[in-house]
Amino acid sequence: MKLKQRVVLLAILLVIFIFTKVFLIDNLDTSAANREDQRAFQRMLSGLRVALDPRLEHTLQSPWEIAAQWVVPREVYPEDTPELGAVMHAMTTKKIIKADVGYKGTQLKALLILEGGQKVVFKPKRYARDYIVEGEPYAGYDRHNAEVAAFHLDRILGFRRAPLVVGRFVNLRTEIKPVATEQLLGTFLTVGNNTCFYGKCYYCRETEPACADGDIMEGSVTLWLPDVWPLQKHRHPWGRTYREGKLARWEYDESYCDAVKKTSPYDSGPRLLDIIDTAIFDYLIGNADRHHYESFQDDEGASMLILLDNAK
């Protein structure tokens, strides 16, 4: 082989060697990065895992007192919550001592009092999990399992602005009716072999009751926030009009955002950033119905935006 051919061959081999080495190093670096990502992901999963254990590792032996002490202006529960499982276990198992119609609103719910005096909101199952609601993004009933999923998404995102939510099965005949108020009891009826109720709310109708499977009804249970933290309701600055053909100002006014930023409480403090966080949260859960939101009362804009009513 001539010298020139040898030089060309050696050059080609050198280029192949360099590319191979770089490729292997990159692969090793990528593999190492992937392994670290996997470890970080597993650590995150481990931190989010909740065991519904009734044991309390706290000087306070009431799960309700523990949960009440968690609440501060910028979070409903702390990041490190060793008693979280115990509180959620209590929400799923504590005896129901009173049942009443839900608080004012558009959707069917019941207000329950659990043993120990804790208020919770019960939203009944209205749809199978794979049922698709047709129509507008805000159409249909609330989904109880959406409340559960939204609470856990709130934990994953690190917001900690949604009250605790669990799923629970209740026996309407043996657990609810014996302790129900006359107002709630008057909305019970039987459809086929199923016990149903329609409650009291803006859209509640006797013709559209929520029905159990026999007497057993699945639903979500949301922990009521402590009474020492009263709520204040605000109109969402980017809410819908809910009128066909009528646009909200933010849909046509290019200067609207600048106007909002000059208006209290969005002109200072974290509230506008909370609105942005909530927009991302609502996008992820598919909620197109946040026309109002709540914060703690008399907070001068310092309170978080509390993530309530996430079942759309």
Selecting among 213, 289, 298, 299, the annotated active-site residue is: 289
**Cα–Cα distance measured from residue 305 to residue 270, given in angstroms and rounded to the nearest whole number:** 9
65 is in an annotated binding site: no
Mean pLDDT estimate for the chain? 89
48 is in an annotated binding site: no
- Domain extent listing, the chain: 85-223, 231-306
Active-site residue flag, 289: yes
Residue 110 confidence class, pLDDT cut points 50, 70, 90: very high
Q: Is the dihedral of CA 278, 45, 65, 223 positive or negative?
A: positive
Amino acid identity, residue 56? Answer: L
C-beta of residue 113 within 8 angstroms of C-beta of residue 119: yes
Percent of the chain topping pLDDT 70? 88
Instruction: Give helix 3-48 / helix 144-157 axis angle, nearest 10°.
Output: 120
Q: How many CA atoms lie less than 13 Å away from 109 in the CB half-sphere?
A: 23
C-beta of residue 266 within 8 angstroms of C-beta of residue 275: yes
294 is in an annotated binding site: yes
> Residue 221: beta bridge partners?
122, 166
Per-residue confidence (pLDDT) for residue 285, from 0 to 100: 94
The CA-based angle 263-265-268, given to 5 degrees, is 90
User: pLDDT tens digits for 135-153?
Assistant: 888 889 999 999 999 999 9
Cβ-count burial of 91 within 10 angstroms (0-12 exposed, 13-18 middle, 19+ buried)? buried
229 is in an annotated binding site: no
C-alpha 300: how far from chain center? 25
To which H or E segment does residue 27 belong?
Answer: helix 3-48
More confident residue, 237 or 40: 237
To which H or E segment does residue 165 belong?
Answer: strand 165-171
Query: Under DSSP, is residue 285 helix (H, G, I), strand (E, B) or coil?
Result: helix
Residue 48 confidence class, pLDDT cut points 50, 70, 90: confident
223 is in an annotated binding site: yes
User: pLDDT tens digits for 200-210?
Assistant: 999 999 999 99
Amino acid identity, residue 40? Answer: A
222 is in an annotated binding site: yes
More confident residue, 28 or 214: 214
107 is in an annotated binding site: yes
Amino acid identity, residue 31? Answer: S
